[in-house]
Structure 1
Amino acid sequence: MYQYQHVIHRMRLGDSDRQIQKAGLMGRTKASAVREKARENGWLDPLSSMPDEAVLEDTFGSKPQAPTPSKIEPYKDQVAQWFDEGIQGTTIYDALVRDHGFAGSYSCVRRFLKTLKATQIKTSIKLTFKPGDSAQVDFGKGPNITDSHTSKPQKTWIFVMTLAWSRHMYAEIVPNQTVETWLGCHRRAFEFFNGVPASLRIDNLKSAITRACFYEPEVQRAYENLALGYGFKIDPCPVADPKKKGRVESGVKYVKNAFVPLRKFRSIAEGNRQLTQWVMEVAGNRIHGTTHEKPLVRFEQTERFVLHPLPQIPPELAVWNQCKLHGDCHICVDKCYYSAPYIYANQTLWVKSLEKTVYIFNGHELVATHPRLFTPGKKSTNNDHYPPEAQAYLMRDPQWCLAQAEKIGPYCREVVDELFADRVLEKLRAAQGLISLKKKYGAKSLELACRRAVAYLSPKYQTVKSILKQGLEHEPIERQAQLPLDEVYTGQGKYTRPPTDMFQ
């Protein structure tokens, strides 16, 4: 309406339609129609008062047309209820077609949902922090770095910790987001700042939060111990609400857009050297868009003096895991195996992994200690953790059997040698069983039974056991059992000859 007032004012001053068009106010055709309306209402008289916007609206305003009723009109209340419940548009459309015979298109549903979204007013509060009060932590996708050993591109991540007041940041390129990496990045960040903020606002990643919850999230035990050691509080964001840590979100985006592109990294270590230099020279000395100051200057002049001091003895970076002790008396941690006492089989134990040592706990009781293994598939076993029968089996190896047989006598040793000489079967259990007969029958009887078994060419465990069971070890050995093979046969066959005749 202001435009119409201006055009009518120019007409009252004597401007023609062509002049109004050249001024860029209105085309000649439309200006002619406006002049006609103004003449009818007497507005071109310089002595008359200018019409107000309401009069011009009634004269030149477009007449509203009756809208065409939408096909979704009968279902508006139901759709609005579904929308409030968070159901997506395609699901609403399918339900309308399936259950209500809706004849409209999905675009009809989408347009109505758009009007519902427009009525929702979303507001937020701008968070403010005092110096040293808080820092925000997050991971972002890093560059692909070619591994020098495999010549394959390796995915990386960028860890960023941003101080909420000064906006000074610590950044590091890492190969993964494991608990060990998460804890190590925190330690190096605190050493970089030479202090610890009062609280850390984080995401709900598994390395820090084992169960995300709006009211009472559960913290990873290793991260909880780190917080106690350094004296900071953990402040997880609500689930799916990254705006609560927007300063580090912006910091991650800044690193990804300003540092990563157009750079070459030969290794993660070389990339971190470049990144630290960039943080101190470029990122720290830029004029921040919100504070309008240099983050490094704000940090050096104010915030570094109010950070909590580092502990004199850094807390150990221990990773805690709950693992089940399997029936073979071993647990699996990072694809490596560690033994624990058999009495805890099929129970869940706590495993504390340090840089060089692994501790296994049942509740608060330490039950096993092992050196830390790093090669997948490696095993650290303490034989004392096995049940007695398993320990006995492991201790009674072939050398033990031969030594025990030697003590019993030469015939017992000969039987054991024959058992181990079998080219098909592994007869360790048979040898162990033979030696165990000493407990029941005595060494002397066992030696006599072995002598009889050797004499009858049957050096077997069952033969010796049968001799002892029947009490035959003291019986005299028949002469034929001691003679050479060519003198044993008595020659009862019609066509048989002595073996000596056959091999002459």
Structure 2
Amino acid sequence: MSFLIKRTAMYGINMYYTVKTLLDKGKSLREISRILGISRKTVTKLRDKTKTDPIEIPKQNRSKKLDGFEDIILEFLKKGFTAKIIHNILQEKYSLKIGYSTLAEHISKLKPKEVYIPVNKDPGEEAQVDFGYFGKFEKDGKKVKVWVFSMILSYSRYAYYEVVTNQRTDTFIRCHINAFEYFRGVPQTVLIDNLKAAVLNANFYEPILQQNYSQFLSHYKSAPLTARVRRGQDKGKVESGIKYVKNSFLKTVQVLHSDFYKMKNKLESWNNNICNKRLHGTTRLIPEKVFCDEEKNILITLPQKRFEIYKIEHRKVKSNAHISFELNYYSVPFEYARQEITAKSNGKILKIYKDLKLLCVHQISESEGKYITKEDHKPPYKQKKSETFYKEKAEKIGQNVLLFLLKLQKEKPHHWHRLISGIFSLRKFYSNLIIDAACKRAFDYNALSYKSVKNICETGLYKVDYDANENILKAQGYNHELIKYDHLY
């Protein structure tokens, strides 16, 4: 074993290079000994060794723990598994004792390197958007998390920044509108990060965009594009813009104060007077000048009306087929009870969706604690029927049933629905002729109750003359349990 390898553990390979460098600079052995804190004898040996032997980094004979696992690792990589997941599997399933950093380094060598080629965009072709976290600021007496929204025109690098306190879809869209109006025009496409606000599933090839966001861009005659997951190069202009606003603006404003509203005003001033008027680090041009000279007039004209922004919230339908929304309860079709739905509101109208299917639309009530229910949302047996429905149904059974109904409406205006529904239910047991005859007899004796008609059918009294003071009178009075018949018709 050479002298170099023996001494590597004591001095390290850097010591040899250091001694050689100092000698090349004309330092004496005494000076080098003092600078490095080693003896002159050691310095002399190192000097002599660098003259006679080439300096080589000793190779460590480590056992190759991953031998035999390469095919397994490659298969996991094809399935999209991360190094962390592969590390867990190798430890738990194969009992392989290996450090995560060692595995990660090995995996990085197995992965093919992706080549990134800068793509220049035409004027008005594309804008890139993103959110960057700004930290916490004082807003209305409370510390709140703040993000900065950024939209940068890819050609001119003309930028718009805005601070917000959430990343909801309605906020995301409102920032877009403000940016378009700041540019006084719209780019052909908008490249978005895979934010929850914009993309449901982060799939580069078939991104499922939220309907509200797609409709918004369509309103402005623009179209969405998505950056691939973990591919910042796709969105480099904006990510550079986020870094720039943090370094150029945020670091300064954080030192001065933490008030949200003051920071917001200063950001607007910085955006107009510094950001867009500076010499851009990449293009070496001034964004505002390029925008005004070459891009401003190329942008799509703003529509006459702003897009109407809907606030989107998720709700679970209660067992009574209603959702709670802003202090009231709104119905949905009964078959969606206990399911998850999406509620969209613009403050006046409430739209309820299941996935992308529109279930219903309600006008938002200004009351509180009210149930706003559509009849056709109830199960058929609970739906309120029109007066015409009852009359037509009674007439189909017989003319006497219709006369009985008309008298019920006059004599018992608050209960006739339940009473006649009970009589309709007798068709499960008796023919229309029997029910019609029973209603005639009950009508003649003014026995205006479901129980009277039922008793006549059961006893066959519809066949014979009958004393009004006997059984029919005993059957008079409506049944307090008639609510049971609501579900029959």
TM-score by length of 1: 0.60
2:254 is equivalent to residue 261 of structure 1: yes
Which letter maps to 1:192? Y
1:20-75 per-residue CA deviation (whole Å, 9 max, x = no partner) reads 88999x9854675589x6xxxxxxxxxxxxxxxxxx9661434776x5532336x4
Which letter maps to 2:242? V
CA distance in 2, matches of 1:252, 1:18: 52
**Gap change, CA 1:33 and 1:204, over 3 Å in 2:** closer
DSSP-derived class of the 1:172 partner: strand
1:104-159 per-residue CA deviation (whole Å, 9 max, x = no partner) reads x635x7447536646876653334333323211112335556675xx765545432
2:67 is equivalent to residue 76 of structure 1: yes
The alpha-carbon deviation at position 168 of structure 1 amounts to: 2.8
2:427 is equivalent to residue 466 of structure 1: no
Task: Check whether the contact 1:285–1:294 (CA below 8 A) recurs between aligned residues.
Answer: yes
Q: Which has the larger radius of gyration?
A: 1
2:205 is equivalent to residue 215 of structure 1: yes
**Gap change, CA 1:84 and 1:250, over 3 Å in 2:** farther
Select the residue among 105, 130, 137 that pairs with 1:114.
Answer: 105
DSSP-derived class of the 2:271 partner: helix
85-94 or 130-139, which deviates more: 85-94
Which letter maps to 2:156? S
Structure 2: 5+ residue runs without aligned partners? 1-16, 389-402, 427-434, 475-489
CA distance in 2, matches of 1:237, 1:315: 24
Which letter maps to 1:189? A
The alpha-carbon deviation at position 395 of structure 1 amounts to: 7.7
Which letter maps to 1:95? L
DSSP-derived class of the 1:205 partner: coil
2:225 is equivalent to residue 235 of structure 1: yes
Task: Check whether the contact 1:156–1:176 (CA below 8 A) recurs between aligned residues.
Answer: yes
DSSP-derived class of the 1:308 partner: coil
DSSP-derived class of the 1:124 partner: coil
The alpha-carbon deviation at position 194 of structure 1 amounts to: 0.3
2:308 is equivalent to residue 308 of structure 1: no
- Counterpart of 1:489? none
Task: Check whether the contact 1:336–1:373 (CA below 8 A) recurs between aligned residues.
Answer: no
**Gap change, CA 1:81 and 1:353, over 3 Å in 2:** same
The alpha-carbon deviation at position 392 of structure 1 amounts to: 3.6
- Counterpart of 2:174? 184
**Gap change, CA 1:281 and 1:405, over 3 Å in 2:** farther
The alpha-carbon deviation at position 190 of structure 1 amounts to: 0.6
DSSP-derived class of the 1:240 partner: coil
DSSP-derived class of the 1:211 partner: coil
TM-score by length of 2: 0.62
RMSD: 5.8
CA distance in 2, matches of 1:239, 1:357: 36
DSSP-derived class of the 2:237 partner: helix
**Gap change, CA 1:9 and 1:306, over 3 Å in 2:** closer
2:90 is equivalent to residue 95 of structure 1: yes
1:302-347 per-residue CA deviation (whole Å, 9 max, x = no partner) reads 432332222334455568999999997768889963456x899999
CA distance in 2, matches of 1:315, 1:301: 28
CA distance in 2, matches of 1:432, 1:188: 59
292-301 or 187-196, which deviates more: 292-301
The alpha-carbon deviation at position 238 of structure 1 amounts to: 1.4
The alpha-carbon deviation at position 195 of structure 1 amounts to: 0.8
CA distance in 1, matches of 2:359, 2:71: 60
**Gap change, CA 1:394 and 1:349, over 3 Å in 2:** farther
**Gap change, CA 1:375 and 1:94, over 3 Å in 2:** farther
CA distance in 1, matches of 2:358, 2:25: 95
Task: Check whether the contact 1:449–1:464 (CA below 8 A) recurs between aligned residues.
Answer: no
Which letter maps to 1:210? L
2:183 is equivalent to residue 193 of structure 1: yes
CA distance in 2, matches of 1:468, 1:60: 121
383-392 or 155-164, which deviates more: 383-392
The alpha-carbon deviation at position 76 of structure 1 amounts to: 2.7
Task: Check whether the contact 1:20–1:27 (CA below 8 A) recurs between aligned residues.
Answer: no
- Counterpart of 2:132? 140
Task: Check whether the contact 1:284–1:296 (CA below 8 A) recurs between aligned residues.
Answer: yes
**Gap change, CA 1:204 and 1:377, over 3 Å in 2:** farther
DSSP-derived class of the 1:251 partner: helix
1:188-226 per-residue CA deviation (whole Å, 9 max, x = no partner) reads 211111011122111223443333323232333333333
**Gap change, CA 1:3 and 1:16, over 3 Å in 2:** closer
DSSP-derived class of the 1:209 partner: coil
Structure 1: 5+ residue runs without aligned partners? 38-55, 397-403, 421-426, 454-459, 483-504
CA distance in 2, matches of 1:292, 1:190: 25
> After the TM superposition, which residues 143-182 of structure 1 pair with which residues of structure 2 at under 5 Å, given as runs?
143-144=135-136, 153-182=143-172
Task: Check whether the contact 1:230–1:311 (CA below 8 A) recurs between aligned residues.
Answer: yes
